[in-house]
Amino acid sequence: MSVSYRMHAIKVAAKREIRSTLYGVGLYVVLSLIFLAASYVFVNSTLRLVADAGILAHANPITSPLFISMGLAAAYLGLCSSLAIARDRDLGTMEVLFYGPVDAVSYILGKYFHQLLVYLVVLLFSLVNFWGVSLATNVGFSSDIVGIMLLSIFLTSCMVSFGILLSVSSRRMIVSVVLFLGLVLFFLIFSVVHSWVMGIAGQNLTTTMVYVRVILDNANQFIKWISPVDYYLRGMNAVFRKDPSGYAVSVISSLVYTGVLLALSVWMFKRKGVRR
Amino acid sequence: MATAQEAEEVAVAESQEAAQGAEASSQAAEQDASAAAEAAAIQSAVESARSAARQAIEAIPDPSQAATQATSESIGQGQPTLEEQVVYSVSAWTGKQYAGTFAPRQVNTFYLMADEYSIVNVQRTMVYFWPITGEYMADWFSLREEVPGRLEILKDGRVIDTLERTEYSYYYPSGLSNEQKLYIGEEAVRIYEDYQARLDAYYDAVSAYYNAQREWQRQMDQILKEVQETGQYKDPSEIPEPPKQPSPPTDFAYSPRTAFIVKLPEGRYQVRLRGEDGQVVEGTTKWLEVFDARRRGIGYSVIPEHKWTRSFQSNDPADIFYLDGRRIFYIMPHYAREFNFYQYVKMTNLHKPLEGEGTRSTWTWAQFEPVRGAKLQVLRGGEVVQEIELKPYYVRQTPGYALGYNIVEFNPDADPLLQGRSPTFEAYRVELEGGTSYQLRFVDEQGNVLLGGVREVRPVKAAGRNVYAIPLFPLAIGLVVFAWRRTKSGKKGAIEA
């Protein structure tokens, strides 16, 4: 299939799907719920601490709720991706589609760009929401937040490609959903536990805790290359350290991750075929 | 003419006077002897104290020895197997002080901070593993022997430097628990000799003081006696001033020792000891990782006035200070550097194999020396609105039953209650109103902003309902879209019908 045909197929598929997403209420409900959860965390963490202590030093307190929102939104879109392909196959839609001018690459990229475009809408809502919250509380809306928001596009790119890979690797919708949610949950929990254990003061830990820390740190050496969350966290650290090269590395590595996962998805898709 | 009785009375009186005179002279002689004995005793006591102080100073262990010396209790428990080893003892600069550790045979790599002096020595001692605390301990008291030779430093397999043992001494300008400085070479000897000379002068002054005190006491006894005998009080000008007790030196210097003084740029090196026979001493080849900071800045130690015991630190230049209303706080600035946690912890804990394990991806800030000679500027809207100087402050407990305290500027001249006391801390006092944002920054004497010394200050507003109302706007837009679609599809259906 020629590149122009492929581009056209990707454009049509992505356009059709994004219209369907934006005309439904699902996305808006999910976003409101995510933002409410983020506000709850924000009020009960930073704002409460400032009120209790009178004075508090913190680098961008809005980044925690922002990270939660971005992470949840990206996970939601990843979940939608993992659902979409498995559902198309499950319902037989995929077979019908492939009788037309659609091939594996245009189909996978159509799904990918659909979710990425939806994320741009999510980003717009996030920008308005967090700008409003920071204005209401005067915590400030620094350039770091814009940097983190831009970075979240790449997190979503990783998350969506991860969802697509899981979706093409399983024939049943329920399997891909469970697999995606399970792995994302595992990555999130691992990331939180790892940060917590690393945050415990280094001296005077019990021997058991030292071994737990060693195991987690070694596991992290592996997980950091497969977890989409870790790509985002590395970029966030670079933003806080005002490290443009670290930021660029995070963006490039996210793109490489996406490319590898999408290529794997296409390869797997071709192997499995379009039939149920 | 005098009668015999009168003559007899005179003779008796004379004999009595003679007897009294003899008794007085005998008492004076006794007193002189006792005074001389007392002075000799004082002299002897002062000399003993002087000698004991000198011995104590010379016996003070090196940081590496102090941190890793096995206690007699631990050696006596569970019969640990002591093994004679050649070890690297390391006193590494942590930013505020030299902390000690040693690398036993089982440890292949040791860590030092880049471009800072560290003390490294190759010694023979008795080592054992203490499983209860999971650390290697050394019995330096039973064996501490320097292995003669020169330290070779290699990079990429090539010898880049060869070090001889050099004299070094630690110096504490304000006492053992405060700032620590390292002097090396002749300067180390000079600083120690200077300290010893002042210590000797102090003991001489102590000796002189006790003599003067004894003399003063004698004079006072005499005056008291005269007053008791005559019933006449003395004029205050006749009463001698008591001698003033001399003060010991407030600084402290270690007796100079010899070791290898290592100062290297960041990198991975190998070290080994080449013995006097020209051969590399067995067990002395080790890796040396010299690490540098990832970031540097000015750390703020902040003491909130309303919770002065709950101070906190802000080392990361990205930190923002959030205020809840009008606040007064005190800032103590210091230079800070961010290091890899693993390397920083390993540097001073080589003898504890588990310490720092699993932290290679973690970073930590370390405090260095306080910032001196700087001014704190407060900016509002980019304009400097206040310049604050470093001042001493005193925390005064509120009298009475109510718990509380006041932080007052330490000025003994203005406040007699502060005379004879020392300030609790020295800091920059910042008083900011809530309602507007500020910027704090430290500038040097030339007005240059210190790297990493800027912090933004923002007052936060109470959360209110808006924080929960704002997130509902996507839902509102969704409902509008849904209603619009319904209306549109309704119209379409009507046209089709």
User: Which value, in Å, is the radius of gyration of the alpha carbons in chain B?
Assistant: 37
Whose tokens are 């906190």? That residue is: B312
Among all residues of chain B, which has the CA nearest to that of A61? B320
Closest CA to B149 of B273, B284, B286, B285: B273
Q: For chain B, report the end-to-end CA distance as a whole number of angstroms.
A: 174
Strand, coil or helix: B83:
strand
Question: Do B364 and A22 make contact, defined as CB atoms within 8 angstroms?
Answer: no
Q: Of B250, B360, B315, B330, whose CA–CA distance to B453 is shortest?
A: B315
Paired with B441 in beta bridges are B377, B454
Show which of residues 213-272 on chain B sit within 8 Å of chain A, judged by CB atoms.
none
* A chain contacts of residue B356, beta-carbon cutoff 8 Å: 202
Non-local (6+) Cβ contacts of A145 within 8 A are A60, A62, A63, A66, A130, A134
The reply to whether A73 touches chain B by the CB within 8 Å rule is: no
The string of DSSP codes covering B373-428 is S-EEEEEETTEEEEEE--EEEEEEEPSSSS--EEEEE--TTT-GGGTT---SEEEE
Could you list the pLDDT tens digit for every one of the 497 residues in chain B?
344 444 445 444 544 454 455 455 555 566 667 767 777 777 788 788 878 877 777 777 777 777 777 776 666 666 667 889 999 999 999 998 899 899 999 999 999 999 999 999 999 999 988 877 778 888 888 888 899 999 999 999 999 999 999 999 999 988 777 788 999 999 999 999 999 999 889 988 988 898 898 889 989 998 999 888 888 888 888 888 889 988 888 888 988 999 999 999 999 999 999 998 999 999 899 999 999 999 999 999 999 888 777 888 899 888 889 888 888 899 999 999 999 999 999 999 999 888 888 888 888 999 998 998 899 999 998 899 999 999 999 988 877 666 678 888 888 888 887 887 888 889 999 998 877 889 999 999 888 999 888 998 988 887 777 888 889 999 999 999 888 888 877 766 555 55
Residue A241: list chain B partners with CB under 8 A.
294-295, 318
Chain centroid offset of residue B72 CA: 28
Chain B residues within 8 A of A36 when measuring between CB atoms: 468, 471-472
Task: Find how far residue A247's CA is from the centre of its chain.
Answer: 17
CB atoms within 10 A of CB A85: 25
Closest residue to A54, CB basis, from B306, B471, B473: B306
Contact state of B472 with A59 under an 8 Å Cβ cutoff: no
Q: How many CB atoms lie within 10 A of CB A5?
A: 13
- Reported as a single tens digit per residue, the pLDDT across B316-360 is 888 889 888 888 899 999 999 999 999 999 999 999 888 888 888
Distances (CA, A) of B59 to B55, B65, B72, B256: 6, 11, 17, 11
Q: Are B216 and B210 in contact (CB under 8 A)?
A: no
CA–CA gap between residue A145 and residue B298 (Å, rounded): 24
Within 10-49 of A, beta carbons closer than 8 Å to B belong to: 22-23, 25, 27-29, 31-32, 34-36, 38-40, 42-43, 46-47
**Inter-residue contact B362 to A214 (CB < 8 Å):** no
| Per-residue confidence (pLDDT) for residue B76, from 0 to 100 | 61
Summarize chain B as % helix, strand, coil (round to 5).
Answer: 30, 35, 30
From chain B residues 93-132, the ones with a CB under 8 A of any chain A CB are none
Task: For residue range B361-394, list pLDDT tens digits in order.
Answer: 888 999 998 998 899 999 998 899 999 999 999 9
Mind giving me the DSSP string for A94-114?
Answer: HHHHTTSS--HHHHHHHHHHH
Mark yes or no for CB contact B324/A53 under 8 Å. Answer: yes
Considering only CA atoms, which of B351, B286, B281 is closest in space to residue B68?
B351
Q: How close B460 comes to chain A (CA, Å)? A: 5
Instruction: Answer with the residue of higher pLDDT: A206 or B18.
Output: A206
A140 touches chain B (CB under 8 A): yes
Interface check A200 vs B, CB under 8 A: no
Q: What is the mean pLDDT of chain A?
A: 84
Residues of the domain holding A46: 3-272
Q: Which of A29, A55, A203, A239 should we substitute to test contact with B (largest number of B Cβ atoms within 10 Å)? A: A55
Nearest CA to A111 out of A84, A150, A149 is that of A84
Q: Characterize B347-369 residue by residue with b for buried, 16 or more Cβ atoms within 10 angstroms of its Cβ, and e for exposed.
A: bbbbbbbbbbbbbbebbbbbbbe
The first and second tokens of residue B330, run together, are: 């005190």
Nearest chain A CA: its distance from B269 CA (Å): 25
User: What CATH number does domain B63-185+256-291 carry, 3.30.70, 2.60.40, 1.10.15, 2.70.50?
Assistant: 2.70.50
Which residue from A minimizes the CA distance to B324?
A54
> Which two structure tokens, joined as six digits, stand for A170?
């399983």
Inter-residue contact B445 to A29 (CB < 8 Å): no
| Residue A75 bridge partners (DSSP) | none
Number of domains comprising chain A: 1
> Which of A54, A129, A217 is opposite residue B470, by nearest beta carbon?
A129
CB–CB of A47 and B463 under 8 A?
yes
CA distance B245 to B216: 13
What percent of chain A is helix, strand and coil (3-state, nearest 5)? 85, 0, 15
- B362 vs A contacts (CB less than 8 Å): 198, 202
Q: What is the mean pLDDT of residues A159-173?
A: 84
- Selection from B361, B318, B343 nearest residue A230 by Cα: B361
**Which amino acid belongs to residue A20?**
S
Residues of chain A with Cβ-Cβ distance to B473 below 8 Å are 32, 125, 128-129, 132
Q: Which of residues 31-90 of B touch A (CB under 8 A)?
A: none
Note whether A64 contacts B: Cβ–Cβ < 8 A: no
Contacts of A38 in chain B (CB under 8 A): 471
Give the pLDDT confidence of A221-257 residue by residue, as tens digits.
888 888 888 887 888 878 877 788 888 888 899 999 9
Please write the tens of the pLDDT for every residue from B57-101. Answer: 777 777 777 777 777 666 666 666 788 999 999 999 999 889 989
ipTM: 0.82
Check CB contact of A207 with chain B, cutoff 8 Å: yes
Supply the DSSP string of A27-44, one letter for each residue.
Answer: HHHHHHHHHHHHHHHHII
Q: How far apart are CA A72 and CA A39, in angstroms?
A: 14
Which residues, 6+ apart, have CB-to-CB distance to A43 below 8 Å? B463, B467
| A240 vs B316: CA distance, rounded Å | 9
List C-alpha distances in Å: B90 to A207, B120, B178, B187, B252: 24, 5, 21, 21, 22
Neighbours of A96 (CB within 10 A): 12
Instruction: Closest CB to B357: pick one of A43, A213, A220.
Output: A213
Q: Answer whether B355 touches A (CB < 8 Å).
A: yes
Dihedral sign, Cα of residue B199, residue B204, residue B207, residue B210: negative
Q: Are B335 and B299 in contact (CB under 8 A)?
A: yes
Instruction: Give the pLDDT mean for A192-221.
Output: 79
Nearest residue in B to A137, CA atom: B461
Q: Which of residues 241-260 of A touch B (CB under 8 A)?
A: 241-242
pLDDT tens column, A7-48: 888 888 888 888 888 888 888 999 999 999 988 888 877 788
The predicted model scores a pTM of 0.75
Is the Cβ pair B325, A240 closer than 8 Å? Answer: no
Q: Do A57 and B312 touch (CB under 8 A)?
A: yes
